[in-house]
Amino acid sequence: MNLLSKFREIYFNKESLSEEDMRVSRNISIFEGCTARSILTLTSGAFLVGFAKYLGASNEQSGIIAAIPVLAGIVTVFSPIVLEKLESRKLLTCMLCFIGRLMMGLMILIPFISPYKTVRVQLLIWVFFIANLIMVFTIPYAQTWLLNITPERIRGAYYGKRESIVLGTVTVVTLLMGQVLDKFEQIGHQFTGFIVLYTFVIVTAFVNIVLFSKIKEPVNPVIKSGISIKNLFTLPAKNKNFMKITFITVLWNLGYQIAFPFTSVYMVSILHLRYGLVTAMAVLASIASVVSVRFWGRIADKKSWLYIMKLMIVLQILSFLTWFFINSDTVYILMPIAHILGGAAISGVNISVNNLQYSYSPADNKTVYMGFSSAVNGIIGFVGTLVGSFFIKVTETRGVSPAGFSIGNMQMLFLTAVVVLTVSIFSISKFRINNVN
């Protein structure tokens, strides 16, 4: 009976949270974020591309696989049908996140299931996709949950602090795992390196569920009338301000996802860089994020999250433009610059998108609005990646060398992303968005 009472106390809170409860929960959320982001980092980017290539994936397939989390965002539009009916949503959120993260670690079992490359790649795609669907389903509420225990007056400072600590932790984890993979690859045991990496992911998933469960949940209003599938689309569509914010994030995702999933492919498959160097670049990007994110938070408090979003797009344009000039001759000079710019940009985007969606959605049914935005962005972002993959495939044998400077098809893809993001920033500048309701 005591265990049942404790279980109810943890997952089915029915009392309003005190300021102290929220403060402690925000602090725990920082450590939970460290574990969650570590799992995300180790199962994406160069690590995921390296594992996909080991299983037999092509460059185009690797890029598409890397963008699967974006496609999985479509499921968030349906999560309010379930979540908005629950007064206590913590148990479902924690368990789905745990299952998804555990599946990420269990991907290491794929090579034991089949010796055929085609089957292995298909299994990787399906397991990775299902794991992301499960986790992404909880995103609208998980974001709202944290925002609800963070007073608006301190959000900029808190998110800046949280992001800097999370990124600092992920930096250390990424650097260590990069070295582990390089060491095992050098002695001809690449798969053993992946076993160590994914075992770490599995252990971290168990740590994460413990921390996640310690974050207290505020009482949630239950919508008695229920939410229909029609409402999932019509409610956000009727809110002009929210649709403008969604369009801004769509423009960002389209330009970003055309090229970003292929940066890891470019480093691993084209430039043939070691994981040590790739992770060192990731560390550099993280340092840029850590240093800049608190600055972005303070600027947002003084100006607006929309201002930060526009500024981040400009930084990403400069990053992709730098990627365009990277080849085997310039990699050691320009790659650090590209990662610094990209790291600074994504840290600002991460905190501004959540706050923009939250601020410009009505007090009721916030998960409906945030789920709708995530779904739309997921579809558009994945379409962008498919466009990038198609571009790489049809230009596979093409390249130019003006004035002796080698330009391959992936570099031309980065330039395409620059053009798309440039068009988007001019479009955003023409928007007139009213003050938050």
From CA 48, how far away is CA 261, in angstroms rounded? 11
Fold for the domain defined by 14-218 = Growth Hormone; Chain: A; (1.20.1250)
* Residue 157: predicted pLDDT: 83
From CA 170, how far away is CA 172, in angstroms rounded? 5
3-state SS, residue 407: strand
From CA 38, how far away is CA 33, in angstroms rounded? 8
Give per-residue pLDDT as tens, 43-55: 988 899 899 999 9
Architecture in CATH for domain 229-436: Up-down Bundle (1.20)
279 — pLDDT class (breaks 50, 70, 90)? confident
* Residue 437: predicted pLDDT: 44
On the question of a common fold for 14-218 and 229-436, the answer reads yes
Give per-residue pLDDT as tens, 91-102: 888 999 999 999
How many other CB atoms are found less than 10 A from the CB of residue 427? 12
From CA 81, how far away is CA 75, in angstroms rounded? 11
Domain boundaries, given as residue ranges, for the chain: 14-218, 229-436
| Listed ranges 219-223, 369-373, 394-398; the one with the highest mean pLDDT | 369-373
* Residue 434: predicted pLDDT: 56
pLDDT at 400 over 80: no
Give per-residue pLDDT as tens, 355-370: 877 777 777 767 677 7
- Tell me which residue has tokens 């490359």: 117
241 — pLDDT class (breaks 50, 70, 90)? confident
Contact between 178 and 279 under an 8 Å Cβ cutoff? The reply is yes
pLDDT at 286 over 90: no
